[in-house]
C-alpha cells in the first residue's frame, strides 16, 4: 500500500534560531498563557504520529511517556518534523501545554507500508489496556496522503474512546479561498479537527489549503520550536498549525479533569474548544470557525445549576441560603 507523505514539508526555508527566553509569538497569539492560570496540561497525554522525537531534548525532560518506532530503526527523529511538532504541543518553553505528557510514534522511514495502521492500532490498544486514567487526550496528525479505510476506522475508534484527533489542512494552497484544495487526507474527514495556518499578523497563510472541511485556524508561519540535537528552528506549514490545537485540547482535558473529576468525551471537549475561537476577517475556507483563542473565561465552559432546597416559608430558605453561602458558593434566593 502507498505510504502517507508529509505534505510539502517546508513551504518556507527552515531557519536555525537561538533559544529564546520570551514566550514565542505563536503561543502569545493564541493566548495560551491566559489558560495557564488554570492548568498547563498536567495529567493530559498527547500522541504525535510523525517522524519520531528527540527524547533527550530539554523541551521534553521527564514528560515522554512512551516512544516507539513502527519503521526500521530507533524512534529518534532524524528528520526534525516530529520533534518540532511535539514541542509546539508540549515543549517546556515553546509549547501550548508545557506539562502534558507525550507518546511519540515514528511512522516515516523504511517500513512495510502498514506502519501508519500499526501506529493507530497501538494507540487504540493503549486506551484499552491503560484504562481511563491514562487515556490519550488527543492525537496529532501533521501529514497527509491517500485515503486509508483502516486508519479511518481507527480514527473513529479513538474518538469513540474519548480521544480527539487533530489534522493539518495541507499546504497546497494558492491563496484563493474559492479554490478548494480538498484532497488532503485525513484533513478532509469529518471526524477530526482540521486546522489551517495563519501568519504572524493573523492573516491567512497563502500556502494553507482551503476547503469547507477546515475547522480552525492557528499560527503556522515561521513557528519557533525544538529541533533534534537540542536546537531550535523556525518552520512553516499547516503541520505547525495543527499542534497548537492539539495542545489546546490537552489544556481543555486537564482543566475538565480538575473541574469534573473525569476526562471529557470528545464531544464535550470540542464544544469547549470551539468556544475558544476568535472571529477574524478571513474566509472560513481558510480557518473555519475562526482563530484559536485560549483566553480563559468561565463563560466558555459548561455551566450547571444545583437546586439545594425548596421551602414554603421564607425563613427556611434564608437558613439554607446562609449555610451554603458560608461554604463559599455563590447563591441566591428565588420566590416562586
Q: Are residues 250 and 160 in the same domain?
A: yes
Closest by CA to 221, choosing from 240, 244, 195, is: 240
Q: Is 50 a catalytic residue?
A: yes
Residue 3 covered by a domain: no
Q: Are residues 216 and 328 in the same domain?
A: no
Q: Are residues 250 and 186 in the same domain?
A: yes
How much helix, strand and coil, in percent to the nearest 5, is found in the chain? 30, 20, 50
Q: Are residues 180 and 326 in the same domain?
A: no
Give the whole-angstrom CA distance, residue 247 versus residue 236: 17
Residue 2 covered by a domain: no
pTM (two decimals): 0.89
What is residue 236's DSSP assignment?
Answer: -
Closest by CA to 264, choosing from 250, 277, 275, is: 250
Q: Is 42 a catalytic residue?
A: no
Of the residues 81, 84, 244, 276, which is catalytic? 81
Look-up of cell digits 499578523:
201
Give the range among 25-34, 143-152, 158-167 with minimum mean pLDDT: 143-152
Of the residues 239, 244, 276, 293, which is catalytic? 239
For residue 111, give its domain range: 15-298
Q: Is 318 a catalytic residue?
A: no
Q: Are residues 177 and 59 in the same domain?
A: yes
Q: What is the pLDDT of residue 299?
A: 82
What is residue 195's DSSP assignment?
Answer: E
Average pLDDT, stretch 223-250?
Answer: 97
Q: Are residues 240 and 157 in the same domain?
A: yes
Give the range among 91-100, 183-192, 271-280, 307-316 with minimum mean pLDDT: 307-316
Residue 1 covered by a domain: no
Q: Are residues 261 and 312 in the same domain?
A: no
Residue 91 covered by a domain: yes
The answer to whether the CB of 288 falls within 8 A of the CB of 214 is yes
Question: In this predicted model, which residue has the larger pLDDT, 304 or 263?
Answer: 263
Look-up of cell digits 496529532:
140
Give the whole-angstrom CA distance, residue 136 versus residue 64: 13
Q: What is the pLDDT of residue 7?
A: 46
Residue 6 covered by a domain: no
Model confidence band, residue 38 (pLDDT cutoffs 50, 70, 90): very high
Model confidence band, residue 8 (pLDDT cutoffs 50, 70, 90): very low
Residue 305 pLDDT greater than 70, yes or no: no
The answer to whether the CB of 128 falls within 8 A of the CB of 109 is no
Q: Are residues 294 and 311 in the same domain?
A: no
Q: Are residues 120 and 31 in the same domain?
A: yes
Of the residues 50, 148, 215, 293, which is catalytic? 50
Residue 67 covered by a domain: yes
Give the whole-angstrom CA distance, residue 253 versus residue 121: 22
Average pLDDT, stretch 217-239?
Answer: 97
Q: How many domains does the chain have?
A: 2
The answer to whether the CB of 77 falls within 8 A of the CB of 41 is no
Average pLDDT, stretch 166-182?
Answer: 91
Residue 180 covered by a domain: yes
Q: What is the pLDDT of residue 302?
A: 77
Q: Are residues 235 and 108 in the same domain?
A: yes
Q: Are residues 286 and 167 in the same domain?
A: yes
Q: Are residues 202 and 333 in the same domain?
A: no
Residue 10 covered by a domain: no
Amino acid at each position: 500500500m502507498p505510504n502517507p507523505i508529509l505534505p510539502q514539508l517546508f513551504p518556507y526555508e527552515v531557519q536555525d534560531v537561538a533559544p529564546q527566553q520570551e514566550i514565542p509569538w505563536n503561543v502569545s497569539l493564541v493566548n495560551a498563557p491566559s489558560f495557564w492560570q488554570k492548568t498547563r496540561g498536567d495529567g493530559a497525554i498527547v500522541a504525535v504520529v510523525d517522524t519520531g522525537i528527540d527524547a533527550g531534548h530539554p523541551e521534553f525532560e521527564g514528560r515522554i511517556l512512551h516512544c516507539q518506532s513502527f519503521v526500521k530503526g530507533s524512534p529518534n527523529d532524524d528528520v526534525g518534523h516530529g520533534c518540532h511538532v511535539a514541542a509546539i504541543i508540549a515543549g517546556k518553553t515553546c509549547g501550548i501545554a508545557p506539562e502534558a505528557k507525550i507518546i511519540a510514534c515514528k511512522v516515516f522511514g523504511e517500513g512495510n507500508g502498514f506502519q501508519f495502521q500499526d501506529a493507530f492500532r497501538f494507540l487504540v490498544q493503549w486506551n484499552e489496556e491503560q484504562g481511563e486514567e491514562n487515556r490519550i487526550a488527543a492525537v496529532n496528525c501533521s501529514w497527509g496522503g491517500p485515503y486509508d479505510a483502516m486508519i479511518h476506522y481507527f480514527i473513529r475508534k479513538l474518538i469513540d474512546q474519548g480521544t480527539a484527533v487533530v489534522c493539518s489542512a495541507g499546504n497546497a494552497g494558492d491563496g484563493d479561498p474559492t479554490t478548494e484544495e480538498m484532497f488532503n487526507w485525513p484533513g478532509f474527514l469529518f471526524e477530526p479537527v482540521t486546522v489551517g495556518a495563519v501568519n504572524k499578523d493573523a492573516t491567512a497563510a497563502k500556502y494553507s489549503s482551503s476547503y469547507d472541511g477546515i475547522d480552525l485556524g492557528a499560527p503556522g508561519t515561521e513557528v519557533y520550536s525544538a529541533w533534534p540535537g537540542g536546537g531550535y528552528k523556525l518552520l512553516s506549514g499547516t503541520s505547525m498549525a495543527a499542534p497548537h490545537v492539539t495542545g489546546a485540547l490537552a489544556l481543555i482535558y486537564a482543566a475538565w479533569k480538575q473541574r469534573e473529576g473525569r476526562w471529557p468525551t470528545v464531544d464535550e471537549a470540542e464544544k469547549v474548544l470551539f468556544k475558544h475561537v476568535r472571529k477574524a476577517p478571513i474566509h472560513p475556507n481558510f480557518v473555519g470557525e475562526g482563530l484559536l483563542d485560549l483566553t480563559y473565561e468561565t463563560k466558555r465552559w459548561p455551566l450547571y445549576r444545583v437546586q439545594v432546597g425548596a421551602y414554603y416559608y421564607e425563613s427556611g430558605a434564608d437558613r439554607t441560603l446562609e449555610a451554603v453561602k458560608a461554604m463559599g458558593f455563590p447563591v441566591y434566593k428565588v420566590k416562586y
